[in-house]
């Protein structure tokens, strides 16, 4: 009975969001109102001090974040994300746990329809892809387990190498499946995004809709979400289903925000940060929170809050760096077209920062760079500005906030790997 209820909740959320908002039919005003109602008035929250707190990160109006001036934020730095401590490589530390992820997904999406099966499993058949999100889930699961296993307060003089950060076998198996679910949801969102953006390449190869068709791509994305929902229900945790359902809702809300934005919205950092949270950071934050919940921590515990905050800030840092690389790296390195944001009419952090120095960019942003010469002019103004430099500072600020929240957890191999992962996010080139 519980499993049936969980399946219903998960599947209902999936198809009332993705099938309505990401299908080939246009989104109507009723859809838009329903999807945006929950996030009305949201402003990216200001990062708080990582002191022990029972306050849960909520998607409601909160303090403004001074995104344009991240370097002015006062943070008691316990670890510098730019100079991570010694410890294991984040991808190597949990790499063995994720070796079979692609094979497991291909088994999950097995179907009698050969085209649908190939489309749904396409990205999992490629050797590219960093398994970034499952890696975060596994690392945060182990870092939180260190708190449960050690029973020691932060600051005790225990070598990090001696801290047991392995959850029990049954708990870790559920957390591993959560990592798989997270990657399936992320991949489905990429397939749908590529349809909406008419993107021709992804991860160095053809996008699914270019290989097959728009209809097959949308169905493949829906199929991945349906199978992910079944796996989610099988975890047997209502709170985790609710949390991950919120992630699905946020993903769709972000896509609708982008499609239905007013011209003036496109020029504001608040709108940009909200969209960035919805489309990228929400899934990471919800999956790290869910990992802690599966580890047996209460929803308001400091461990669960720290896990969610880490995912929240690291997710924002990751996307901000993505937006930076869109201007600084070639298509070969990115595995997708360079400058795709400008060509798709989207103004991201580098351009928004540049617009503060060159206000003429605001008119181009409002018209989505549609007039001849807009894209070239915007790039030239960006090169003259401090937009790229300030974007790097913003990404570093969020990555630093992420690792500060880890101070709630005991020093352990997994925690150090998470700090290194924060560093990888801000120094990566693809």
Tokens of 267: 């020029």
Q: What is the pLDDT of residue 101?
A: 75
Contact 81, 314 (CB under 8 A): no
Backbone angles phi, psi at 382, to 5 degrees: -60, -45
Place of tokens 């080139």: 429
Q: What is the pLDDT of residue 23?
A: 37
Closest by CA to 144, choosing from 310, 297, 286, is 297
Tokens of 262: 């007013």
CA distance 348 to 319: 10
Four-CA torsion 245, 250, 253, 259, nearest 10 degrees: -130
Closest by CA to 407, choosing from 307, 299, 279, is 307
Listed ranges 112-121, 143-152, 335-344; the one with the highest mean pLDDT: 143-152
Question: What does the buried/exposed string (b/e) look like for 16-38 if buried means 16 or more CB atoms within 10 Å of the residue's CB?
Answer: bbbbbbbbeeebeeebbeebeee
Backbone angles phi, psi at 428, to 5 degrees: -65, 155
Radius of gyration over every alpha carbon of the chain, rounded to an integer in angstroms? 21
Closest by CA to 319, choosing from 219, 218, 426, 182, is 426
Q: What is the pLDDT of residue 387?
A: 96
Contact 217, 119 (CB under 8 A): yes
pTM for this predicted structure: 0.79
How does pLDDT run across 266-299, given as a tens digit for each residue?
999 999 999 999 999 999 999 999 999 999 999 9
pLDDT of 47 over the 50 cut: no
User: 167 or 197: which carries more pLDDT confidence?
Assistant: 167
In sequence order, what are the residues at sequence separation of 6 or more whose Cβ sits closer than 8 angstroms to the Cβ of residue 138?
Answer: 94, 97, 98, 175, 176, 179
CATH 3.40.190.10 is the classification of domain 2-6+88-152+162-427 = no
CA distance 157 to 63: 37
User: 60 or 306: which carries more pLDDT confidence?
Assistant: 306
Backbone angles phi, psi at 337, to 5 degrees: -60, 140
Residue 286 class from Cβ within 10 Å (0-12 exposed, 13-18 middle, 19+ buried)? Answer: buried
Domain ranges of the chain: 2-6+88-152+162-427
Tokens of 219: 């169905």
Runs of H (alpha helix) within 38-100: 90-93
DSSP-assigned beta bridge partners for residue 205: 202
CA distance 420 to 78: 14
CA distance 410 to 88: 16
**Mean pLDDT across the chain:** 77
Backbone angles phi, psi at 202, to 5 degrees: -160, 130
Contact 97, 138 (CB under 8 A): yes
CA distance 238 to 46: 29
Place of tokens 């039919």: 25
How does pLDDT run across 321-374, given as a tens digit for each residue?
999 999 988 655 555 566 788 988 999 999 999 999 999 999 999 999 999 999
Q: What is the pLDDT of residue 221?
A: 78
pLDDT of 244 over the 80 cut: yes
In sequence order, what are the residues at sequence separation of 6 or more whose Cβ sits closer than 8 angstroms to the Cβ of residue 248?
Answer: 13, 14, 17, 18, 185, 225
Contact 256, 32 (CB under 8 A): yes
Contact 146, 409 (CB under 8 A): yes
């Amino acid at each position: 009975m519980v499993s049936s209820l969980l399946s219903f909740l998960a599947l209902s959320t999936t198809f009332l969001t993705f099938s309505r908002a990401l299908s080939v039919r246009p989104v109507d005003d009723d859809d838009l109102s329903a999807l945006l109602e929950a996030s009305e008035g949201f402003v990216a929250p200001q990062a708080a001090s990582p002191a022990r707190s029972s306050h849960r990160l909520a998607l409601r109006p909160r303090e403004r974040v001074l995104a344009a001036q991240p370097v002015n934020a006062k943070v008691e730095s316990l670890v510098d994300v730019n100079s991570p401590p010694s410890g294991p490589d984040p991808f190597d530390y949990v790499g063995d746990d994720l070796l079979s992820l692609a094979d497991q997904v291909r088994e999950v999406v097995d179907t009698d329809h050969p085209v649908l099966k190939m489309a749904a499993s396409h990205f999992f058949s490629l050797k590219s892809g960093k398994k970034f999100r499952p890696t975060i889930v596994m690392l945060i699961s182990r870092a939180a387990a260190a708190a449960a296993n050690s029973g020691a307060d932060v600051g005790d003089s225990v070598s990090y190498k001696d801290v047991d950060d392995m959850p029990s076998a049954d708990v870790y198996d559920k957390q591993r499946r959560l990592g798989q679910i997270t990657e399936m949801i992320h991949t489905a969102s990429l397939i749908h995004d590529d349809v909406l953006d008419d993107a021709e390449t992804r991860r160095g190869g053809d996008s699914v809709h270019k290989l097959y068709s728009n209809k097959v791509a949308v169905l493949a994305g829906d199929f991945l979400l349906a199978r992910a929902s079944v796996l989610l229900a099988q975890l047997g945790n209502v709170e985790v289903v609710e949390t991950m359902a919120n992630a699905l809702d946020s993903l769709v809300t972000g896509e609708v925000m982008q499609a239905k934005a007013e011209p003036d919205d496109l020029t504001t950092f608040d709108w940009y940060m909200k969209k960035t949270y919805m489309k990228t950071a929400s899934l990471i934050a919800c999956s790290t929170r869910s990992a802690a919940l599966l580890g047996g921590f209460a929803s308001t515990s400091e461990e669960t809050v720290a896990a969610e905050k880490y995912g929240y800030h690291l997710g924002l840092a990751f996307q901000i760096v993505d937006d930076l690389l869109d201007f600084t790296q070639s298509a070969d390195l990115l595995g997708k077209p360079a400058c795709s944001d400008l060509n798709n009419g989207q103004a991201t952090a580098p351009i928004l920062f540049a617009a503060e120095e060159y206000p003429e960019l605001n008119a181009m942003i409002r018209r989505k760079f549609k007039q001849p010469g807009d894209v070239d002019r915007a790039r030239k103004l960006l090169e003259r500005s401090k937009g790229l430099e300030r974007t790097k500072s913003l990404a570093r600020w969020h990555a630093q906030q992420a690792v500060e929240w880890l101070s709630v957890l005991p020093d352990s191999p997994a925690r150090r790997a998470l700090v290194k992962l924060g560093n990888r996010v801000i120094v990566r080139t693809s």
